Structure 1
Amino acid sequence: MAMQKLSPRSSRTTSIEQVVPPALRPVFRAYILGYASSTGPRLLTLLLTHLSRRRKKAGEQPEDPFHLSLFRILKGGLEFQRFPTFCAALVGGSTLLQLPFRRFFATFAAKLSRVAQLRLARWLSTFIAAWFSLKLLQSKDSDAFVDYVAQDTPTGRVERPLRWAGRTMDLSLFAVTRALDVMIGELWSQRKVKRVGSGKWSKLDLIISTLADPWIFSTSCALIMWAWIYTPDRLPRSYNKWIKSAAAVDQRLLIALRRCRFGEIKYGVETGQAHLLEGMCRSYHWPLEYGDPVKSIPYPCEMVHMGTGKSCEYHAVSRLGRSFLWAFSTYLPLNLLLTLRNPSKRAITNAVKSSARSSAFLGTFIALFYYGICLTRTRIGPRVLGTSTPVRQKIDSGLCVGAGCTLCGWSILIENAGRRKDFGLFVAPRALATLLPRRYLMEDQWKETLAFAMSTAVVFTCVGEKPERVRGVLGKLLHEVLSQ
């Protein structure tokens, strides 16, 4: 919903565009949109942080004055190697290079149809623009992608910088995901036309079409939640922090799950790990033996409930309620803020409904995640797999978390069909990122650049021919930006 409000064809932007030559208008829109999308979230975070700091006691002054932080954010977005310039270079190269390519093909490839010439010109111009615009982003140094390695030299031992690639991985995976969605969607659409025409379209085909987006979302969420539990370094820091806030889990419990997974905690064996959850027992006023893996086989499920009692079902319901209120208090102000442009009773009602539905979705997501763990540990797992110590170890070493990861994503069925595809395509690149290294050798960077350039060329070419095939808000946004 927020992205829909960022359409570059607002009345104010359109009036400013009149002084820009038509050929450069896509570049102008792309830069403005890139600048807004890169600075907007940071400005909102700065404002919220500033307001929260003002509530502190007198004398607790912020380290950095508000106006200096504001200036730094606004100035930073104007730097050459930042996202706005990348957007302008990508869109500008894609649109401005098409004409010379079309003339070239008209002269030297006259046997090709005009449609084929136009398609090839779009693809090649976008490929070249995407390659060099991503190189622009990759050229900016980042401390997180530089290590200092000690080396022996004739003058003594010195530290030399070792630069890693991968800082644009999320952007590249986003493009790859979108390209795959375009290609698979087009193939499925052609198959549907043929099967419907021949009367062979079946209920199974309908089910696949209906559940494709929920399946993408649930599978992606399963990978993300698994990584969040066991390998949080594979997730972006901001994403990791947001999941941590939403899950509201005691960190000692997470550490225990990881140590069970990697063999540091073993039921019935003294490994010196009892102190970890014994500290949690003191915090929640449980018997200390609850946290001892030698005496408690397995850990009581009450520890997973973190103070809500012994009932797994009550814990799930309480999680649903608390998470709903937490999400609603976040979504409602944002949705109401978006109605200020065209305030009306209907707009406010829709904002409340949308906030309630999204909050119910998130609350159900969290409740299913925890209840999936409880089902495997207490309700179903022991009855199916047994209650021996090795089985209990196996359950708490990954099976229970895997069940929670598998269940939680299906909460997307609460959202309407239009939102499901946006959510699915949003989380899919992040899920793929958990399967790939966050940093890799600089000499392999060309592979990522090639994947990004080819994928972006597919998406932009599709926007020019079949904009409806690029699903969700992105398709509408690109169509508006690229139009002359």
Structure 2
Amino acid sequence: MTAASAQPRAPVAVTRSLEQAVPPVFRPLLRAYVLGYISSTTPRLLTLLLITLSLRRTNIDEKPVDAFLPSLVRILRGGLELQRFSTFCAALAGGSTLLQAHSIAKINCTDSIILVEIGTIEVRILLITIQLARCMSTFIAAWFSLRLLQSKKSEAFIDHVSEATPTGAPLRPIQFAGRTMDLTLFAVTRAVDVIVGELWAQRKSRRAAAGQWTMIEKLASTLTDSSIFASSCALIMWAWVYTPDRLPPSYNKWIKSAAAVDQRLLTALRRVRFGEIKYGLETGQAHVLQGMCKDYNLPLDYGDPVKSIPYPCEIVHMGVGKSCEKHALSRWVRSFLWAFSTYLPLNLILTLRTPSKKRFRHALESSARSSAFLGTFIAVYYYGICLARTRIGPRILGTSIPRRQQIDSGICIGSGCAFCGWSVLIEAAGRRKELGLFVAPRALATLFPRRYVLENQWRETLAFAISTAVVFTCVAERPERVRGVFGKLLRKVLTT
């Protein structure tokens, strides 16, 4: 082996030697803490760096630039606080493995004497007992680790209400729960994926052995991940238009950047749905879209719901022209270029670890495919809206004013939501799996309030603890059942 080929492995060897110095039972705790710290601080550090570089280029203000070092220290120090994600990860993984080691050791010590004389049934009972001990250990660790995160107060989850008293009306703080909802829904999604996947695998095994595995069942297996992604995206895009507060702020902002839509158009769509704008009736809402008409050099009458029934698709096209097909194509091109400029640098950075022509070509192909997927997603979303508004919807439902109102108050958006997610078929099968499991928790979040009364927090904690116990137990018993990159990462973290 040459010196050049051995050099990249040096950091790995150092890391392994440091880990060897830690007792095996404490290694999951250490790995989880380091991973949690890196994952929680890295996005903040990148954001700080980008903001600082942007301010230096524009020379807007020198004070934020001068505050870079204090902000850096605050981010690095904040990740070490007790009620942070890093401590949560350590408490979850470390607590689970430590409790498991203690419980299983007691079981083995108790039963080791009689193992020689027991039969198959007794061995199975012993294995079930060990599995239950492992499951309960994870349940306890998950419960208390999530409670640790939930104990940190946030101003976003505190309302101040006035309370009438003889001496005045002071403000009384009311604390709400929901800070950890995204984390809980992620755990629930993974647990459901594990359980359903195992049940389906057993069904497949039985029916294949009996020669009864049909083409429909095979097709269902193939399209499962795509179906999860498509249905999840339908919920997410619907919420993004009508109830954006049900999405995480960062995710909402990313969709807004990718969709590149005029906010006045979204405002009009919401007002049509909730009855503030009605075709053929003067409700004083013409100004909402007339500003857009002026900016895109369109007749002002296009934005008047009394004179334009329905709003012309040209407003939706935002200056591209009358053709819905031309607008969809332009959306695809713009979205492809926007995504490619993001994906390619990231993929090229990953190739720097072991650069080669093959890896460089793979980075180009992967970036192009992912960009084509995102471009198709956005183009199909917009074209699905146009299909419902002008191509298909009026032919089926009719062209009367009530029907036009019905189409624009939800059917058109529902059409775009229903079609856009199937663009994931462009991606490779492995990528579809990751994307489906990524968006499913966010889709579930649109069905639950992001804030709820504190008295009901135990329900969320219980759901998280049960789900985590299912996933961790499966990692120990059937590791291949926990799919994707998360499964591989979890197996690496929990290995003692």
Smaller-chain TM-score bracket: over 0.9
The answer for the alignment partner of 2:119 in structure 1 is none
Instruction: State yes or no: 1:97 paired with 2:99.
Output: yes
The answer for the alignment partner of 1:3 in structure 2 is none
Distance in structure 1 (CA, Å) of the matches to 2:411 and 2:16: 55
Aligned AA (1:36): I
Q: Conserved in 1, the CA contact under 8 Å of 2:55 and 2:61?
A: no
Aligned AA (2:69): H
Question: Cα–Cα, structure 1 residues 58 and 300, in superposed 2: closer, same or farther, change >3 Å?
Answer: closer
User: Could you tell me how far 1:62 is from its partner in structure 2?
Assistant: 2.7
The structure 1 residue matched to 2:239, chosen from 205, 227, 231, is 227
Aligned AA (1:202): T
The answer for the alignment partner of 1:25 in structure 2 is 27
The structure 2 residue matched to 1:77, chosen from 76, 79, 88, is 79
Q: Conserved in 1, the CA contact under 8 Å of 2:332 and 2:375?
A: yes
Spell out, residue by residue over 1:230-270, the C-alpha distance to the aligned partner (whole angstroms, 9 max, x if none): 00010111011000000000000000000000000000000
Question: Cα–Cα, structure 1 residues 157 and 61, in superposed 2: closer, same or farther, change >3 Å?
Answer: closer
The answer for the alignment partner of 2:58 in structure 1 is 56
Aligned AA (2:342): T
Gaps of 5+ in 2: 1-10, 115-121
The answer for the alignment partner of 1:419 in structure 2 is 431
The structure 2 residue matched to 1:248, chosen from 260, 280, 287, is 260
Instruction: State yes or no: 1:259 paired with 2:261.
Output: no
Distance in structure 1 (CA, Å) of the matches to 2:12 and 2:276: 58
The answer for the alignment partner of 2:168 in structure 1 is 156
The answer for the alignment partner of 1:127 in structure 2 is 139
Aligned AA (2:334): R
Question: Cα–Cα, structure 1 residues 63 and 268, in superposed 2: closer, same or farther, change >3 Å?
Answer: farther
Distance in structure 1 (CA, Å) of the matches to 2:61 and 2:409: 48
Instruction: State yes or no: 1:185 paired with 2:197.
Output: yes
The structure 2 residue matched to 1:343, chosen from 334, 355, 365, is 355
Distance in structure 1 (CA, Å) of the matches to 2:182 and 2:301: 44
Deviates more, 1:210-219 or 1:153-162: 153-162
Spell out, residue by residue over 1:97-156, the C-alpha distance to the aligned partner (whole angstroms, 9 max, x if none): 013322454549985633212211110000000000000000000010000111133543
Q: Conserved in 1, the CA contact under 8 Å of 2:52 and 2:65?
A: no
Question: Cα–Cα, structure 1 residues 213 and 42, in superposed 2: closer, same or farther, change >3 Å?
Answer: same
The structure 2 residue matched to 1:461, chosen from 473, 476, 485, is 473
Partner SS for 2:15: helix
The answer for the alignment partner of 1:4 in structure 2 is none
Aligned AA (2:385): I
Residue correspondence of structure 1 range 183-222 to structure 2 within 5 A: 183-222=195-234
Q: Conserved in 1, the CA contact under 8 Å of 2:25 and 2:101?
A: no
The answer for the alignment partner of 1:353 in structure 2 is 365
The answer for the alignment partner of 2:461 in structure 1 is 449
Aligned AA (1:411): S
Deviates more, 1:14-23 or 1:380-389: 14-23
Spell out, residue by residue over 1:346-382, the C-alpha distance to the aligned partner (whole angstroms, 9 max, x if none): 2211111111111111111000100000000011111
Q: Percent identity?
A: 69
Instruction: State yes or no: 1:67 paired with 2:79.
Output: no
* TM-score, normalising length: structure 1: 0.96
User: Cα RMSD between the aligned structures?
Assistant: 1.6
Aligned length: 476
The answer for the alignment partner of 2:317 in structure 1 is 305
Partner SS for 2:64: coil
Deviates more, 1:118-127 or 1:175-184: 118-127
Distance in structure 2 (CA, Å) of the matches to 1:196 and 1:454: 32
Distance in structure 1 (CA, Å) of the matches to 2:152 and 2:14: 33
The answer for the alignment partner of 1:6 in structure 2 is none
The answer for the alignment partner of 1:387 in structure 2 is 399
Partner SS for 2:159: strand
The structure 1 residue matched to 2:90, chosen from 66, 88, 91, is 88
Question: Cα–Cα, structure 1 residues 108 and 258, in superposed 2: closer, same or farther, change >3 Å?
Answer: farther
Partner SS for 1:161: strand
Partner SS for 2:306: coil
Q: Conserved in 1, the CA contact under 8 Å of 2:425 and 2:432?
A: yes
Partner SS for 1:141: coil
Distance in structure 2 (CA, Å) of the matches to 1:17 and 1:355: 35
Aligned AA (1:352): L
Distance in structure 2 (CA, Å) of the matches to 1:127 and 1:293: 56
User: Could you tell me how far 1:63 is from its partner in structure 2?
Assistant: 6.2
The structure 2 residue matched to 1:147, chosen from 143, 152, 159, is 159
Aligned AA (1:98): Q
